Structure 1
Amino acid sequence: MIDLRNLSRRGLLNLGAAAGTSLVMPQLIRPASAAAPLPAVPEEKAIIAFGHTGPVADEGWTWSHDQGMKAVQAAFPKLKTVFVESIPYSADASRTFRQFVSQGANMVFATSNYGDFLYDVAKKSPDVAFYECDGRNPLDNLSTYYLAHWYPTYVTGVAAGLISKTGKLGYVGSFPVPSVFSGTNAFLMGARSVNPAATMQVIAINSWFDPQAATQAGTALIDNGADLVFGIMDEAGYLQVAEKRGAKAVMWNTDIRRFGPKAYVSSIVIDFKKFYVDQVRARLEGKWVPTQTILPMGGGVDRDAWGETVPEEVRKQADAVREKIAGGWSPFVGEIKDAKGNVKVAAGKKMTEAELYNWDWSIDGVRGI
């Protein structure tokens, strides 16, 4: 059962009153499990483990999860934390998760989707609370969690559609997985809301962290006519290319504008600190039960502050869309066609959070994935 889903994964902006809407609360894409809570654990005896897909120094995805671990350490100074970085998608992952259990871990966070490499360990360790980021198969002792990144992605797509002079957008992708499909689709939908002729070319590099490949992909996209690039990489490769070539870029994970201040439009920034602290607290207090949680815009994911070269009128127009979304409006309403012209979402139908989370097809206008 090792398929595409096993390759997937994946200081927020405070916009005042807009952040006080229902979107700020974590959303459950399935009801909470009826399983009995795991027993309480004294803080001084607790061990919390983190298994990462990349290096904690990537200043991207893994760095953000590591900041969450540091928040746990600050909130609960008596417990012990352990972590392993750059865990491959192989049997080595299972060995790492088993090692966490053998070390006495009460809670294990897999900060990427490891599929069976994690499930097989969790099933044999019913007294340990497991988490899988971007997971899709909860167990009685396994929660899943992710981010509703498609909303701020749509907002930055609006800005991209206004900024791009050619309407040709590029995307540096990792694998053909839902987080990439939802990102490319939401971005182009945002751009097409202001420029209906916009298109997007995708180059997948089969990695979440490969600066050389991301740089090459960014170069190829700009060579092919893209004047604004987006992606889901954990480093600044294609931003640096955009800076050198006079193009623009929207990034992922953190604020890394210093690598390309003229090119930087914004970033989809993530913050797991509060979520991790809340989950560890529930485990220590004997209140933990498995859930499937999507952290919403304004409560775990958002756009970064706009780059210095983004015109004021672009900022205002994009932020007006963000305020509409924060107020409950969804841009993901049919009719929506796939890249082959088939109607996938009927006219007037709104895509659910579960459908957005599991998006596995490209919309019309997206090429390369």
Structure 2
Amino acid sequence: MTVSGPRGRLLTTRRALLGMAGAAGSGLLRPARAETTPAWRRPLAEADAVIGFGHTGPITDGGWSMVHDRGVQAVRRAFPKIRTIYVESVPYSADATRIFRQFVAEGAQMVFATSEYGDFIKDVSDRAPDVAFMECDGTNVTGNLGWYYVAHWYASYIIGIAAGLMTRTGKIGFLGAFPIPSVYASANATLLGAQSVNPSVTLQSITINAWFDPQAATQAATALADNGCDFLCGIMDEPAYLRVAVQRGLKAAMWNTGMLDYGPEAYVSSVDLDFNDFYVSQVRDLLAGTWQPQGRFLTLGHGVDRDAWGPSVPVEVARQADAMRTRLLAGYNPFRGPIHDNHGRLRVPEGVTLSDLEIYHSDWAVAGVSGLE
């Protein structure tokens, strides 16, 4: 665990934490009586506040966890008297439960899981009703647990337009970690954007069972290039497939943050995330005693957007893609029927528009997507 206080003091104790957490759990996580007002509903002095963050990867990954760590830094700047604690590379196992319990044992009044941990965090939040919990990419809302996520499908749609205009082979290659809703939403939005300007475009996906595995991502990107894909995109926490695009003379769009420096000649753009304002607002609400558990999306222009276009993107391509961005910012929703899945079934009838929540829970691929079932 890494701890920072008002003076930037750092303490690394992650291994010790995993051994201590089980013993610390039972007495500290007893549910409060139903009539007790939760602590997070009462104002809290900044100097007394402890905020915990559990990251799915290393904060030096250049992507997802790094972006969330920027949010932690923003909290420290906004509230210099607050103590923040965090653990990197939290596993998807019982160890996650121990880590979240240890945050409570350390006195955290608010805990963020910066990726989906499902029952691992819900079990802890159920037993610690005086602590506010938020889960990124989660689904649960309880008495003291909420979720947050980015409506990244709009930025993906914009980038998809650029892909549809720039591909020469008509084949987009997509890398994902697992066949889960966030990956379906990204792949579907990218292809639908591409097909809006180039109806014959298809998208081939490969999932590598990890968010951060540069070697596997490199192998998958190479396989996609070998299969004729000349535009690579996806949801990965590092820039491995951009390097493949540079080596093979392809184009690539990234995820999490701007990655121009890793391959400017191949770089098109990125789904660019910014959790800074969100984390600061959540902590501010906690201090004021006004925080409430709920689910919420960070929307286009407010936590998620496209990065600046790379130098090889033609002016006309950028203009056409940005015309759609302007429409999206004005409230237009392009995810409207008829939309068929990749088995030919009508999923969205004509005249029906998918809501953000429906896109968020997608578990099917649109027509033209292969390799994602």
- Partner residue, 1:240: 243
For 1:222 and 1:138, locate their aligned partners in 2 and report how far apart those are by CA, in whole Å.
Answer: 42
TM-score scaled by length of structure 1: 0.90
SS of the residue corresponding to residue 86 of structure 1 reads coil
| Cα deviations by residue, 1:136-155 (Å, 9 ceiling, x for unpaired) | 01111011000010001000
**Contact kept? 2:151, 2:297, Cα under 8 Å:** yes
Counterpart selection for 1:322 from 317, 325, 328 = 325
SS of the residue corresponding to residue 296 of structure 1 reads strand
- Partner residue, 2:98: 95
Residue type matched to 1:65 in 2?
A: H
Asked if 1:280 corresponds to 2:267, the answer is no
Q: CA deviation at 1:349?
A: 0.3
For 1:63 and 1:80, locate their aligned partners in 2 and report how far apart those are by CA, in whole Å.
Answer: 19
Moved over 3 A (4+): none
- Partner residue, 2:147: 144
| Cα deviations by residue, 1:99-135 (Å, 9 ceiling, x for unpaired) | 0000000000000000011000000000000000010
Counterpart selection for 1:59 from 56, 59, 62 = 62
For 2:176 and 2:357, locate their aligned partners in 1 and report how far apart those are by CA, in whole Å.
Answer: 22
SS of the residue corresponding to residue 344 of structure 1 reads strand
For 1:52 and 1:139, locate their aligned partners in 2 and report how far apart those are by CA, in whole Å.
Answer: 22
Q: CA deviation at 1:257?
A: 1.2
- Partner residue, 1:174: 177
Q: Which runs of 5+ in 2 are unaligned?
A: 1-36
For 2:287 and 2:293, locate their aligned partners in 1 and report how far apart those are by CA, in whole Å.
Answer: 14
- Partner residue, 2:47: 44
| Cα deviations by residue, 1:287-342 (Å, 9 ceiling, x for unpaired) | 11111110000000000000000000000000001111111111100000011000
- Partner residue, 1:153: 156
Root mean square deviation of aligned Cα = 0.9
For 2:276 and 2:331, locate their aligned partners in 1 and report how far apart those are by CA, in whole Å.
Answer: 25
Q: CA deviation at 1:348?
A: 1.1
- Partner residue, 2:23: none
SS of the residue corresponding to residue 41 of structure 2 reads coil
Counterpart selection for 1:74 from 63, 71, 77 = 77
For 1:56 and 1:198, locate their aligned partners in 2 and report how far apart those are by CA, in whole Å.
Answer: 36
- Partner residue, 1:86: 89
SS of the residue corresponding to residue 356 of structure 1 reads helix
- Partner residue, 1:124: 127
TM-score scaled by length of structure 2: 0.89
- Partner residue, 1:214: 217
For 1:47 and 1:327, locate their aligned partners in 2 and report how far apart those are by CA, in whole Å.
Answer: 39
Q: CA deviation at 1:40?
A: 1.6
Asked if 1:260 corresponds to 2:258, the answer is no
Counterpart selection for 1:187 from 187, 190, 214 = 190
Q: Which has the higher contact order (CA 8 A, sep 6+)?
A: 1
SS of the residue corresponding to residue 147 of structure 2 reads strand
**Contact kept? 2:221, 2:241, Cα under 8 Å:** yes
For 2:178 and 2:120, locate their aligned partners in 1 and report how far apart those are by CA, in whole Å.
Answer: 18
Q: Which runs of 5+ in 1 are unaligned?
A: 1-34
Q: CA deviation at 1:286?
A: 0.5
For 1:152 and 1:56, locate their aligned partners in 2 and report how far apart those are by CA, in whole Å.
Answer: 24
**Contact kept? 2:181, 2:360, Cα under 8 Å:** yes
Max Rg structure: 2
SS of the residue corresponding to residue 131 of structure 1 reads strand
**Contact kept? 2:62, 2:239, Cα under 8 Å:** no
| Cα deviations by residue, 1:193-248 (Å, 9 ceiling, x for unpaired) | 01100000000000000000011110000000000010100111000000010000
Asked if 1:251 corresponds to 2:259, the answer is no
Residue type matched to 1:302 in 2?
A: D
Alignment of 1:192-207 (within 5 A): 192-207=195-210
For 1:354 and 1:75, locate their aligned partners in 2 and report how far apart those are by CA, in whole Å.
Answer: 31
- Partner residue, 2:309: 306
